[in-house]
Amino acid sequence: MRRILHIDASYSDESSASRVLSQVFIAAWKDSHPEDVIFYRDLGRFPVPYINETWIAAIHSLPETHTPEMVEALKVSDPLLEEFLAVDAYVLGVPMYGFTIPATLKAYIEHLIRIGRTYEVTEQGVQGLVHGKKALFITSRGGNYPPGSPFGKDHQEPYLRTIFWSFGITDVQFVNAGNLVLGDRKQSIATAQAHLQMLAAQW
Ligand X SMILES: Cc1cc2nc3c(=O)[nH]c(=O)nc-3n(C[C@H](O)[C@H](O)[C@H](O)COP(=O)(O)O)c2cc1C
Rule CB under 6 A: is residue 165 a binding residue for ligand X? no
Applying CB under 6 A, among 141, 166, 167, 188 the residue interacting with ligand X is: 141
Packing angle, helices 17-32 and 185-202, rounded to 10? 30
Measure Cα distances from 159 to 24, 37, 99, 155, 183 in Å: 24, 28, 10, 6, 24
Rule CB under 6 A: is residue 18 a binding residue for ligand X? yes
Rule CB under 6 A: is residue 176 a binding residue for ligand X? no
d(CA 93, CA 113): 20
Applying CB under 6 A, among 27, 181, 190, 198 the residue interacting with ligand X is: 181
Could you tell me whether strands 37-42 and 3-8 are parallel, antiparallel, or unpaired per DSSP bridges?
parallel
- Number of residues binding to ligand X, judged by CB under 6 A: 17
Question: Looking at beta carbons only, is 24 or 96 nearer to ligand X?
Answer: 96
Q: In sequence order, what E strands does 43-98 have?
A: 89-95
Rule CB under 6 A: is residue 104 a binding residue for ligand X? no
Binding site for ligand X (CB under 6 A): 10, 12, 16-19, 95-99, 140-143, 180-181
